[in-house]
């Protein structure tokens, strides 16, 4: 199978970040990448139902005009991130995300649970043989009476923790390919958009919001 021209974006847990290295690629050969998953998708600059601005602990995009707004559609594997304040199609990134053979979103390695998340600022890990970037995700409490977000390392009601965005690698027939590194690299585009986002919640800085939908 020919190598696909776009890179892969994974949503996973920090445990994967800490164990990956330059000689140990992530093996996703049980799940093929979708093709053209984001065709015609421009993302959102407002909070989708059921995560309305009025019910968001941080006020949603409406109260944070400089935040990035990302929408991940789990069914189509499409992630679109764009600046809240941008009415046109500038400062926007679209990525087809790698799926997983774990379908239960309460399990480690499963898809991101449906929710509103705060997206942290850029973090990185540097070792002798690698440089690794990621963004922490902070899920909103499921209990509407708890108007706040889980800490990155805090377990949610279903037991998930350490959720984040990072660049991964893909396999075709278990023969691993590296992600694209040219100007069409969607991870670099996504990082560029996320790094433009700016919002504050409880005296901490974030890049913006992520909304996970089943579409």
Provide the pLDDT for residue 168: 65
User: Would strands 131-139 and 175-177 be described as parallel, antiparallel, or unpaired?
Assistant: unpaired
**CA–CA distance, 20 with 201 (Å, rounded to integer):** 31
Structural domain boundaries, residue 189: 9-213
Condensed to tens digits (0 to 9), the pLDDT of residues 53-80 reads: 888 999 999 999 999 999 999 888 889 9
What length is written for the chain? 215
Task: Confirm whether 200 is domain-assigned.
Answer: yes
Between 2 and 200, residue with greater pLDDT: 200
Task: Confirm whether 122 is domain-assigned.
Answer: yes
Provide the pLDDT for residue 205: 96
Task: Confirm whether 187 is domain-assigned.
Answer: yes
Q: How many domains is the chain partitioned into structurally?
A: 1
Q: In this predicted structure, which of 49-63, 67-81, 110-124, 165-179 has the lowest mean pLDDT?
A: 165-179
Averaged pLDDT of the chain: 76
The candidate with the shortest Cα–Cα distance to 60, out of 117, 113, 143, 11, is 117
Task: Confirm whether 3 is domain-assigned.
Answer: no
Task: Confirm whether 193 is domain-assigned.
Answer: yes
Give every CB contact of residue 102 below 8 A, 6+ residues apart in sequence. 108, 109, 110, 111
Give every CB contact of residue 177 below 8 A, 6+ residues apart in sequence. 3, 4, 169, 170, 171
Grade residue 50 by pLDDT with cuts at 50, 70 and 90. confident
Q: In this predicted structure, which of 24-33, 191-200, 202-211 has the lowest mean pLDDT?
A: 24-33
Q: Percent of the chain scored above 70 by pLDDT?
A: 72
Task: Confirm whether 4 is domain-assigned.
Answer: no
Q: What share of the chain is helix, strand, coil (3-state, %, to 5)?
A: 10, 35, 55
Task: Confirm whether 16 is domain-assigned.
Answer: yes
**Is the predicted pLDDT of residue 128 greater than 80, yes or no?**
no
* Chain Cα centroid distance, residue 209: 10
**DSSP states along 148-201:** SB--TTS--TTS---EEEEEE-EEETTEEEPPP-STT-HHHHHHHHHTT--EEE
**CA–CA distance, 14 with 152 (Å, rounded to integer):** 10
Provide the pLDDT for residue 148: 95
**Is the predicted pLDDT of residue 176 greater than 80, yes or no?**
no
Q: Which two tokens stand for residue 202?
A: 């409880």
Provide the pLDDT for residue 173: 45
Condensed to tens digits (0 to 9), the pLDDT of residues 19-49 reads: 233 334 444 444 556 667 888 888 888 888 8
């Amino acid at each position: 199978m020919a190598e696909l021209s776009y890179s892969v974006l994974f949503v996973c847990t920090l445990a994967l970040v800490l164990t990956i290295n330059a000689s140990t690629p992530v093996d996703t050969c049980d799940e093929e990448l979708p093709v053209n998953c984001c065709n015609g998708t421009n993302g959102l600059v407002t909070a989708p139902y059921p995560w309305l601005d009025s019910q968001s602990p941080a006020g949603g995009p409406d109260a944070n005009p400089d935040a990035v707004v990302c929408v991940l559609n789990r069914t189509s594997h499409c992630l679109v991130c764009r600046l809240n304040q941008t009415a046109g199609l500038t400062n926007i990134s679209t990525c087809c995300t790698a799926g997983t053979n774990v379908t239960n979103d309460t399990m480690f390695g499963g898809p991101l649970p449906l929710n509103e998340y705060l997206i942290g600022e850029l973090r990185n890990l540097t070792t002798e043989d690698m440089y690794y970037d990621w963004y922490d995700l902070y899920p909103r409490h499921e209990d509407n009476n708890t108007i706040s977000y889980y800490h990155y390392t805090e377990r949610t009601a279903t037991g998930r923790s350490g959720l984040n965005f990072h660049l991964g690698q893909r396999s075709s027939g278990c023969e691993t390919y590296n992600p694209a590194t040219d100007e069409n690299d969607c991870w670099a585009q996504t990082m560029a958009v996320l790094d433009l986002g700016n919002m504050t919640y409880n005296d901490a800085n974030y890049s913006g919001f992520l909304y996970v939908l089943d579409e």
